């Protein structure tokens, strides 16, 4: 873990296109501003943890796992390769698309 001291108005960058700026500080909180392309998912850790707990409780595989498997299948098909036995064909249920955050999509 990289630990950096920053003051209000200062920022750090992650990669070439993500910037995190310190907007406000108080004794118990830090307010951050994050500039990132829409293609970069920016979520609070507790949201990710809750999502994973809900997925585990429901007994369904993660959408990311399914998407990774579909991507492998697509690349194999494009290359004209046979799928390994360990990769079973997968279909995504798109009857209930994810709810998008309108603040993030504008």
Structural domain spans, the chain: 8-37, 43-81
- Say yes or no to pLDDT of 6 above 60: yes
Token representation of residue 17: 């296109």
Q: What is the DSSP string of 46-77?
A: HHHHHHHHHHHHHTPPPHHHHHHHHHHHHHHH
pLDDT digits (tens, 9 = 90+) for 12-31: 999 999 999 999 999 999 99
Tokens matching residue 12 = 């750090």
pLDDT digits over 56-105, tens only? 787 766 666 777 777 777 777 777 766 555 555 555 555 555 555 555 54
If we measure between CA atoms, which residue out of 49, 48, 91, 31 comes closest to residue 67? 91
DSSP secondary-structure letter at 105? H
Question: Which residues have C-beta within 8 Å of that of residue 6, sequence separation ≥ 6?
Answer: 12, 22
Q: What is the pLDDT of residue 53?
A: 84
1 three-state secondary structure: coil
Q: Model pTM greater than 0.75? A: no
């Amino acid at each position: 873990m990289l630990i950096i001291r920053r003051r209000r108005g200062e920022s750090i960058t992650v990669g070439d296109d993500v910037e995190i700026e310190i907007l406000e500080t108080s004794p118990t909180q830090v307010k951050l501003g994050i500039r990132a392309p829409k293609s970069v998912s920016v979520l609070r850790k507790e949201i990710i943890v809750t999502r994973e707990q809900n997925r585990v409780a429901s007994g369904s595989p993660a959408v990311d796992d399914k998407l990774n498997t579909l991507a492998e299948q697509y690349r194999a098909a494009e290359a004209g390769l046979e799928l390994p036995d360990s990769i079973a064909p997968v279909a995504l249920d798109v009857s209930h698309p994810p709810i998008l955050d309108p603040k993030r999509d504008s």
